[in-house]
């Protein structure tokens, strides 16, 4: 028999269990609604917040780096006092172009004229090679001058006000005011020469022995004692030294032969990595080194080039890795100057050990004007990414212009004959947007 107290206790427990169950069910219903709201609303809120932040950042960037329209390679003068292209960062100094004179332009836009091109490397180099770490001039001229004896015109081929005999640099660009090797120019533009000068040398295989060769000449050094007071003021000290009779005598005694020895001699400025020496060192270029292979096969030249590639890579690997940090700097930024000078000082001597390619002559007969040859020029990304080796297309252009003048001089028996090779990039609209 169940007492009344036991009955009441059971009822209370039953009420408590039912109340607990109802509470749980009610909480689960509320939690279910909350979860649905979170699942549905939170992603929308995240997207909305992300969109708002994106709009704010975009507006901030647009104000700091406004979208700008340029007419690259314009015929208007957009150059500085040295006849070098003005940077797009100096937009207030750039002239504007009437949109009505530009095909496919918008009349509502302002177009700023530049004397340099802003094309990505993969477009400017038809080989399609990707060279993301290559150091390059940030304001490259729209004209290439593979020979110095060109007619002057503005804005790209302005008169440098120095004689032809002193324009002995190893660049393929028109001369700035005073010339590339003018010390006043070099003082005000310490990296421009280093970014544009080249060391064009090739391995040669010539079974006919008619093409000849040109020996490499040891660097020619110049000390402060070679500077005269007047040349220091005018900035012509280096040019006077390199065009002097003593330097000409060194060049003429190189014991070369054939039409390959008839190319003009220019000078590559070596950089001392210690920055402690006051002397200048100049490497005469180009040169054409005879192949060491004992057989007459183009395939052997490939093996010879492979040996040079391995030796050059080994040379780059021997450099302190911290030296390569300079490549991340901006070549137009003065803060990067010392690091880049040190970088060029350490790498240029290694790069100079790597030939641009090989020349194999099947026939080299200037009398009948019959030249049959193979131009073997390729690319190794490790060497290219070192930052101071020209692209494939640029090396091919340079060698073809050198060979063209050599063929002409030998066939005419006139060492002064020349073809003035110039290349001009045409105007094009470029829209800069961060």
| More confident of the two residues 111 and 276 | 111
| More confident of the two residues 383 and 83 | 83
Contacts of 146 (CB under 8 A, 6+ apart): 172, 397, 398, 401, 421, 422, 423
| More confident of the two residues 330 and 16 | 330
Domain ranges of the chain: 198-418
Mean pLDDT of 2-23: 53
pLDDT surpasses 80 at 58: no
What pLDDT is attached to residue 126?
A: 45
Mean pLDDT of 210-222: 94
User: DSSP letter at 116?
Assistant: B
Confidence of residue 245 (pLDDT cuts 50, 70, 90): very high
C-alpha span between 177 and 184 (Å, rounded): 10
Find the helix or strand (DSSP H, E) in which 66 lies. Answer: none
Q: What is the pLDDT of residues 379-396, one digit of tens each?
A: 888 888 776 788 899 999
Q: Nearest to residue 174, comparing CAs of 79, 256, 252? A: 79
What tokens were used for 299?
A: 């395939």
C-alpha span between 108 and 72 (Å, rounded): 18
pLDDT surpasses 60 at 67: yes
């Amino acid at each position: 028999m169940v007492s009344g107290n036991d009955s009441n206790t059971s009822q209370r427990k039953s009420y408590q269990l039912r109340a607990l169950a109802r509470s749980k069910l009610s909480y689960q219903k509320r939690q279910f609604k909350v979860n649905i709201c979170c699942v549905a609303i939170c992603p929308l809120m995240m997207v909305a917040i992300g969109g708002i932040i994106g709009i704010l950042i975009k507006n901030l960037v647009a104000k700091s780096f406004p979208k700008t329209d340029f007419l690259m390679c314009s015929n208007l003068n957009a150059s500085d006092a040295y006849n070098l292209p003005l940077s797009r960062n100096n937009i207030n100094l750039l002239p504007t172009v009437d949109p009505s004179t530009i095909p496919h332009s918008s009349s509502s836009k302002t177009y700023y004229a530049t004397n340099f091109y802003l094309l990505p490397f993969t477009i400017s180099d038809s080989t399609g090679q990707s060279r993301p770490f290559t150091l390059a001039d940030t304001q490259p001229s729209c004209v290439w001058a593979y020979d110095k004896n060109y007619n002057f015109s503005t804005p790209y081929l302005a008169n440098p006000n120095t004689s032809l005999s002193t324009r002995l640099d190893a660049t393929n660009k028109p001369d700035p005011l005073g010339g590339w090797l003018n010390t006043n120019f070099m003082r005000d533009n310490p990296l421009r020469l280093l970014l544009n000068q080249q060391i064009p040398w090739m391995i040669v295989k010539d079974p006919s022995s008619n093409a000849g060769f040109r020996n490499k000449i040891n660097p020619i050094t110049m000390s402060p004692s070679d500077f005269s007071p007047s040349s220091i003021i005018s900035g012509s000290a280096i040019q006077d030294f390199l065009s002097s009779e003593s330097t000409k005598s060194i060049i003429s005694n190189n014991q070369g032969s054939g039409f390959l020895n008839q190319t003009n001699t220019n000078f590559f400025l070596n950089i001392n990595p210690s920055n402690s020496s006051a002397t200048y060192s100049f490497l005469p270029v180009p040169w054409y080194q005879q192949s060491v292979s004992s057989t007459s096969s183009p395939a052997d030249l490939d093996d010879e080039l492979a040996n040079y590639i391995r030796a050059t890579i080994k040379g780059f690997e021997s450099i302190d890795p911290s030296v390569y940090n300079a490549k991340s700097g901006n070549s137009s930024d003065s803060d990067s100057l010392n690091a880049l000078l040190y970088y060029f000082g350490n790498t240029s001597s290694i790069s100079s050990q790597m030939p641009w390619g090989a020349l194999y002559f099947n026939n080299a007969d200037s009398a009948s004007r019959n030249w049959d040859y193979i131009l073997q020029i390729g690319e190794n990304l490790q060497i290219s990414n070192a930052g101071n080796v020209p692209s494939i297309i640029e090396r091919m252009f340079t060698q073809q212009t050198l060979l063209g003048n050599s063929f002409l001089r030998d066939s005419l028996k006139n060492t002064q004959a020349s073809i003035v090779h110039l290349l001009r990039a045409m105007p094009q609209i470029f829209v800069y947007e961060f």
